[in-house]
Amino acid sequence: MLASSSPRRADLLKQAGLEFNIMVSEVDETPAPGLAPYELVELLALRKANAVAAGLNNGIVIGADTVVVQDGRILGKPSGPQEAAAMLSLLQGSGHEVYTGVALVNAASRETLVGHELTRVFFNSLTEEEISRYVATGEPLDKAGAYGVQGLAALFINRLEGCYTNVVGLPLARLAKMLKQIGYEVL
């Protein structure tokens, strides 16, 4: 069971050959003050997975949460075009971190496993016009950090250090390792 409405996460699970259903969790995603980015994404991923698992008797529930961090500042999903443009202005011409927390909850036993992945992403310098045109596409409006690595923003990224699927929203290698730890072989 995937505790997320993200089409990108669903696509990644399909890519991995996993069979799953989607059950969206409604949890408060407000960043808790004082938490490190990895603590925040792990906490939110676990909240999502627990919220869905609470209504089930069996199965493994996957929760995930992704944030972008620039100079210690956590960038979630932008509230609108202006905030998206401001986020992209911060990210352009530099490197930043992408953290995704992953939580697995066994709905029958309530056993949990939580982890996270970190990837560094480096953007080219962008003009205000390039940022405006990208924001006008609508692509950045529902994504942490206001960009989608798998979409048009790929034109802005000159390198990644770490897991590509982490930046998309679900680190598949980390997920496969975690599933193996609880006795589920992906391949």
The residues annotated with a catalytic role in the active site are 65
Contact yes or no for 70/90 (Cβ under 8 A): yes
d(C-alpha 84, C-alpha 77), whole Å: 8
d(C-alpha 167, C-alpha 71), whole Å: 17
Contact yes or no for 53/105 (Cβ under 8 A): yes
Q: What's the maximum distance between 2 C-alpha atoms anywhere in the chain?
A: 53
